[in-house]
Structure 1
Amino acid sequence: MADFEIGSLLILGIALLATGVIAGIIAGLLGVGGGIVIVPVLYHMLTALGVGENVVMHVAVGTSLATILATGTSSALAHYKRGSVDLDLLKRWCIPIAVGVIAGTIIGGNVSGMVLSLIFATVALLVAINMIFRKDGIALAGQLPGTPLKELLGLLIGGISVMMGIGGGTLSVPILTLFSYPIRKAVGTASAIGLIIAVPGTIGAIYYGLGVEGRPSWSLGYVNLIGFLLIIPASTLSAPWGARIAHAINPRALKIVFALFLGFTGLRMFYDVLG
C-alpha cells in the first residue's frame, strides 16, 4: 500500500473535512449523495499524494460509496420528514436499481481506472450541460413511462451511478424532472435511492479491492478508512442544512455554479486520461 507522510495526512484530513461539509450540503440540497463532489476531490488529492493511476479512481469511487451510506441516510430522513420521498416509486424502482448496481459493481471491479475516469468525466459533462442549458419546466412527458422503459431507467441509474461512486440523484433527479416529476419530491426520493446504490456498491468495492497492490494506507479493499471516517461526520451533520435550504430558496444560481464545477472536473479528467 502507498504510505502517506504526516504532513500530507494533515493536509488531506483538512481537505476531506471541508469536502464532507460541502458534500453534505449538496446532498441535501440537490439530492446527489455528495459523491459527485467527493469522487473528483479524492481523485485529485490521492493522485497528488502519489497513489497510482491503476487504483486511484477505484479508491475514490469505493470511498465515496461508503460515505453515502451515512450521508444518504441523513439526507433521506430529513426529506422524509418533510414528505418529499415517494415511497411508491422506491418500491417500483428498488429491484431494477439493485440489479443495475450489481451489474455495475461487477463491471467496475474488473475494468481499469482509466475506464472509470472516462465514465465519470462523460456523465459529469452531460449533467453539467443539462443543468446549464435545460430550461425549467421543459419535460418529455407528463408522467414516467410504463414497463419496461421505466425499469430500464432504474437499471441504468443504478449501474452508471455505482461505477461513478455517486448516490443516484445526479442521474435520477434530471430524469424524473424530464417526466414532469416535482423537483422537491425528485430530490427527496433521490436521496433514498442513494442508499439502494451505496450498500451493495460498498460491499463490492471492498471485495474487488482486497489484496490489490498500490492502495493507500488504511484501506479496506477500495474503501479508504481515513477518507471514510473524516468525510462521514462532516457530511452527515451538514446534509440537513442542505435539505432546509432546498425548501427555502430557488437553487437555480447554485445549480449553475455546480454545473461549472462538474464541467471543469469532467474536462480535467479527460485531460488526465487522454492528455
Structure 2
Amino acid sequence: MLAIPIAQLAMLAAAVAGGGAVTGLLAGLFGVGGGTIIVPVLYEVFGMLDVPETIRMQMCIGTSFAIIVPTSIRSYRAHRAKGMVIDGVLRLWMVPVVIGVVIGAAAAAVAPAGVFQGMFAVIAGLIATKLLSGRSDWRLGDDLPGPGPMRVYGFFVGLCSSMMGVGGGAITNMIMALYNRPIHNSVATAAGLGVPISVCGSIGFMLAGLLRQDMLPPLSIGFVSIIGFALMAPISSYAAGHGVRIAHALPRRYLEVAFGLFLLTASLRFVFALVR
C-alpha cells in the first residue's frame, strides 16, 4: 500500500477542500462548473498518488465532471428561483449539447493533454478579451439566431466542454454576450446547461476508462475517482448557493470584469502549462 506522510495528507485535504469551496463560488457566481479549478488541483493530488501519466489527465477530467454534477444542479436551481434562465435556449441546446459531450468524451479518452490545455487557453482568452474590453458593439446580432444556428452552437458548447473538462459556462456566456443577452441571463442559462454536460461527461468518462482497468487507481469507476468526488463535491455544492447570491447583487459591469479576469487568469495558466 502507498504510504503518504500525515502532513502531506493534511495539505492535500486542505487543497482539495479549498478548491471545492472556490469551485462552488465560481459555479454560482459565473455559471461555470468549476473545472478550471478542479482539474489542476486533482492533477497534483493524482500525481502524488502515482497515478500513471498516460491516464492522469483523463482521471482529472472525468472526476471533475462528477464533482460538477451536484454543484451544477444546485447552481441551476438557485438561478431558476431568480427567474433568470432562458428556457428557449435550454430546449434548443439540450440534445446538441449531449451529442457534443458524447463525441468529446470519446475523443478526450485518447487525445493528449495538450489538446485540452490549448483549447481552453484560446477560448478563454477570446472570451476574457471581449468581457474586459467593455465594448458593447462586439456582437454577431441583437438577438439570438434561429433554431439551426442555435443547435450548432449547442453542439460546439458540448464538444468543447467535454474535451476541456468544464461545465460549459464560459463558452455559453461568450455566445450569449455576442447576441446581446444580459450577463445575468447568460450566467443562469449556463448553469442549466452545466447539468446535462456534467452528467453525460461523467458517464462518458466512466465508460471510456473501463478499457484501462489495469491502470486505474483504487476506488475508481472508469476515469472517475470516487475519493476525489467524495472530498470535493459536498463543499463545492454548498458554496454554489453563496455564489448565486453574490452574482445577483453585483452590477452587470462588475460581473463582466470579474468573469473576464477569472478567464484570463485561467487561460494564462494553461498557456504556461503548454510552454514549460
> TM-score, normalised on structure 2?
0.89
Change in CA separation of 1:147 and 1:263 when aligned onto 2, cut-off 3 Å: same
Change in CA separation of 1:212 and 1:244 when aligned onto 2, cut-off 3 Å: same
- Structure 2 distance, partners of 1:4, 1:220, is 23
Aligned residue in 1 for 2:113:
113
- Structure 2 distance, partners of 1:176, 1:213, is 43
Show CA shifts across 1:229-267 (max 9, x none).
Answer: 111111111101110000112324533441342133212
The Cα shift of 1:36 comes to: 2.2
Aligned residue in 2 for 1:231:
232
- Aligned AA for 1:5? I
The Cα shift of 1:46 comes to: 2.8
- Aligned AA for 1:69? V
- Judge conservation of contact 1:25–1:238 (CA < 8 Å) in 2: yes
- Structure 1 distance, partners of 2:232, 2:119, is 24
Aligned residue in 1 for 2:34:
34
Question: Which deviates the most, 143-152 or 239-248?
Answer: 143-152
- Judge conservation of contact 2:138–2:178 (CA < 8 Å) in 1: yes
Change in CA separation of 1:252 and 1:199 when aligned onto 2, cut-off 3 Å: closer
The Cα shift of 1:137 comes to: 6.3
Matches within 5 A, 1:246-257: 246-249=247-250, 250-257=254-261
- Judge conservation of contact 1:124–1:263 (CA < 8 Å) in 2: yes
SS of residue paired to 1:65: helix
- Structure 2 distance, partners of 1:100, 1:173, is 17
SS of residue paired to 1:251: helix
Change in CA separation of 1:4 and 1:127 when aligned onto 2, cut-off 3 Å: farther
The Cα shift of 1:150 comes to: 1.4
Aligned residue in 2 for 1:153:
153
Matches within 5 A, 1:75-94: 75-94=75-94
The Cα shift of 1:121 comes to: 3.7
The Cα shift of 1:71 comes to: 0.3
Change in CA separation of 1:138 and 1:118 when aligned onto 2, cut-off 3 Å: closer
Change in CA separation of 1:174 and 1:22 when aligned onto 2, cut-off 3 Å: same
More helix by share: 2
- From 243, 255, 265, give the equivalent of 1:261: 265
> TM-score, normalised on structure 1?
0.90
What fraction of aligned residue pairs are identical, expressed as a percent?
A: 34
- Structure 2 distance, partners of 1:119, 1:50, is 26
- Structure 2 distance, partners of 1:4, 1:69, is 31
- Structure 1 distance, partners of 2:138, 2:60, is 34
- Judge conservation of contact 1:168–1:190 (CA < 8 Å) in 2: yes
- Judge conservation of contact 2:122–2:267 (CA < 8 Å) in 1: no
Matches within 5 A, 1:166-205: 166-205=166-205
- Structure 2 distance, partners of 1:242, 1:9, is 28
- Judge conservation of contact 1:67–1:231 (CA < 8 Å) in 2: yes
* Runs of 5+ unmatched residues, structure 1: none
- Judge conservation of contact 1:63–1:222 (CA < 8 Å) in 2: yes
- Judge conservation of contact 1:121–1:270 (CA < 8 Å) in 2: no
How many pairs are equivalent? 271
SS of residue paired to 1:261: helix
- Aligned AA for 1:267? V
- Judge conservation of contact 1:35–1:68 (CA < 8 Å) in 2: yes
- Aligned AA for 2:272? R
Aligned residue in 1 for 2:43:
43
- Judge conservation of contact 1:141–1:180 (CA < 8 Å) in 2: yes
- Structure 1 distance, partners of 2:218, 2:72, is 26
- Please state if 1:218 is matched with 2:219: yes
- Please state if 1:5 is matched with 2:4: yes
- Structure 2 distance, partners of 1:252, 1:25, is 16
- Aligned AA for 1:123? I
- Structure 2 distance, partners of 1:180, 1:131, is 12
Question: Which deviates the most, 145-154 or 25-34?
Answer: 145-154
The Cα shift of 1:33 comes to: 1.2
Aligned residue in 2 for 1:57:
57
- Structure 1 distance, partners of 2:48, 2:138, is 41
- Judge conservation of contact 2:76–2:192 (CA < 8 Å) in 1: yes
- Aligned AA for 2:4? E
